[in-house]
């Protein structure tokens, strides 16, 4: 029987993490694994703190994203110990007493000051692998991130447990619901800022809780890959809308992009639909044994096929790829691993003992070069854009004849198109996590 209830899936997840921790400790020659949750960062010369970003390794073990100065201490053969800071503090809301599905599976020690952890951490510090950022140091417990442990843990993070996939599915539903609200706001004539606020309200997450800054782009702004300006006033005429926005659930990210045409009967809408069809075919390629670098190159060819179909490209997709013209229209990678971080770790990892799989020549922004395996979740986010800066290079490089510039002029006012889903690789057909969330 399968379940989607994270509470029921957590014990198996914890068993996987403890087995991985055992191996990481054996490889690094240490006795204890320590994971600080992290400490707040402050703005320079100021008492204002930045939004707290918990150590991803900490939220891997526990569904806690807002608890600073706390620790996980794991020693093989013993239950994990959670040293949980619940300070005496009347300036801020104090983290609530430990509760939830994880509590019964670990030993919890509540502390009232960060320093009290010193009495509870196993030692000596030099026998510990301490995984975290430098400012989490406490006394002699200084994060040292031994490479043998970190390479192993990062590599293994690529393989999501059923618990993790369950949390990611919930993040997808939250984001898809907000995408729907954003589309309605666009069609009602809202500004970028208003659409962003509508999105956050529907996701019930503010800008510090969503896993990355929302990209809400009307018209030509869609041609700026990471456009985050958010115009306060609507344009005189809204022609197109590109939204790249996610949501989090217990620290797991969803990363979704959609593009809409105001005119549902026009040529831009037709191009959006063509990219969408191509994108779904690419999602179907997320299969065990597929080399993500090849999927990326195939995506170039498919997208150039769309541009040729619409008369933008005058040469074959193969010729556009060979001359670099395709990179002017599709200047980013096909996607990336996703999980505890929106751009998750180990996208280039050659093995769990280190090493890097390089990007193919001419594709400097690809974030994933591995062969896909069951349990991996990756984004598939092809796009085509009309970016003057890059198209000028095409002209300078002697390839102007590859492009019908009048067709570029026709599409430039729409900015660009990107469609992005998050897809789970299984040992059979891929499971698109995003599309069912939109269908719900």
- Give the separation between CA 133 and CA 435, rounded to whole angstroms: 36
Residues 6+ apart with CB under 8 A from 264: none
Structural element, H or E, at residue 247 = strand 240-249
344 binds ligand GLY, rule: CB under 6 A: no
| Structure tokens, 322 | 């060979």
Contact flags string 152-191 toward ligand GLY, x per CB under 6 A:
----------------------------------------
Residue 160 near residue 168 (C-beta atoms within 8 A): yes
244 binds ligand GLY, rule: CB under 6 A: yes
Figure out which of the listed residues 69, 144, 194, 255 binds ligand GLY, where binding follows CB under 6 A. 255
CB atoms within 10 A of CB 329: 25
Contact flags string 358-387 toward Mn ion, x per CB under 5 A:
---------------------x--------
Comparing CB distances to ligand GLY, the nearer of 164 and 255 is 255
Figure out which of the listed residues 144, 164, 220, 255 binds Mn ion, where binding follows CB under 5 A. 255
Which one of Mn ion, ligand GLY, none is in contact with 69 (Cβ closer than 5 to 8 A by kind)? Answer: none
Residue 166 near residue 141 (C-beta atoms within 8 A): no
- Give the separation between CA 338 and CA 342, rounded to whole angstroms: 5
| Structure tokens, 198 | 């509508």
Comparing CB distances to Mn ion, the nearer of 194 and 255 is 255
422 binds ligand GLY, rule: CB under 6 A: no
Q: Of 198-237, which residues contact ligand GLY (CB under 6 A)?
A: 212
Which one of Mn ion, ligand GLY, none is in contact with 212 (Cβ closer than 5 to 8 A by kind)? Answer: ligand GLY
Which one of ligand GLY, Mn ion, none is in contact with 37 (Cβ closer than 5 to 8 A by kind)? Answer: none
DSSP string, 29-77: T-SEEEEE-----B-TTSSPBPPP---HHHHHHSS-SS--S-EEEE-TT
Question: Using CB atoms, what's the residue nearest to Mn ion?
Answer: 255
Which one of ligand GLY, Mn ion, none is in contact with 405 (Cβ closer than 5 to 8 A by kind)? Answer: none
- Give the separation between CA 309 and CA 411, rounded to whole angstroms: 14
Which positions touch ligand GLY (CB under 6 A)? Answer: 212, 244, 255
């Amino acid at each position: 029987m399968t379940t989607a209830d994270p509470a029921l899936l957590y014990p198996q997840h914890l068993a996987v993490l403890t087995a991985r921790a055992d191996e990481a400790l054996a490889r690094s020659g240490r006795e204890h694994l320590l994971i600080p949750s992290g400490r707040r960062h402050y703005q320079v010369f100021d008492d204002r703190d930045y939004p707290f970003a918990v150590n991803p390794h900490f939220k891997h073990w526990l569904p806690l994203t807002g608890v600073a100065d706390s620790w996980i201490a794991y020693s093989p053969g013993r239950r994990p110990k959670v040293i949980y800071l619940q300070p005496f503090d009347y300036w801020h809301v104090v983290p609530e007493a430990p509760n939830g599905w994880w509590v019964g599976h670990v030993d919890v020690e509540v502390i009232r000051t960060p320093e009290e952890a010193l009495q509870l951490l196993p030692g000596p510090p030099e026998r510990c692998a301490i995984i975290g950022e430098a400012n989490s140091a406490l006394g002699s417990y200084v994060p040292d991130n031994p490479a043998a442990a970190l390479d192993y843990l990062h590599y293994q993070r690529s393989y999501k447990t059923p618990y993790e996939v369950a949390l990611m599915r919930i993040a997808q539903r939250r984001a898809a619901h907000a995408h729907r609200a954003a589309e309605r706001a666009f069609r009602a004539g809202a500004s970028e800022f208003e659409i962003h606020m509508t999105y956050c309200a529907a996701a019930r997450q503010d800008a510090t809780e969503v896993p990355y800054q929302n990209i809400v782009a009307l018209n030509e702004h869609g041609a700026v890959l990471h456009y985050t300006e958010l115009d306060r006033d609507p344009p005189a005429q809204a022609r197109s809308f590109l939204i790249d926005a996610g949501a989090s659930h217990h620290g797991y990210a969803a990363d979704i992009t959609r593009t809409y045409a105001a005119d549902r009967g026009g040529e831009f809408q037709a191009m959006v639909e063509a990219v969408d069809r191509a994108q779904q075919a690419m999602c179907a390629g997320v299969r065990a044994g597929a080399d993500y670098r090849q999927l990326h190159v195939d995506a170039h060819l498919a997208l150039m096929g769309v541009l040729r179909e619409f008369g933008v490209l005058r040469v074959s997709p193969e010729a556009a790829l060979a001359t670099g013209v395709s990179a002017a229209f599709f200047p980013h990678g096909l996607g990336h691993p996703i999980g505890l971080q929106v751009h998750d770790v180990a996208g280039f990892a050659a093995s769990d003992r280190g090493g890097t799989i390089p990007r193919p020549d001419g594709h400097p922004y690809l974030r994933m070069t591995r062969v896909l395996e069951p349990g991996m979740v990756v984004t598939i986010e092809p796009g085509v854009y009309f970016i003057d800066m890059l198209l000028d290079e095409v002209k300078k490089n002697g390839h102007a004849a590859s492009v019908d510039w009048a067709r570029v002029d026709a599409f430039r006012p729409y900015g660009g198109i990107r469609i992005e889903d998050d897809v789970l690789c299984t040992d059979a057909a891929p499971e698109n996590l995003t599309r069912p969330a939109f269908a719900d």
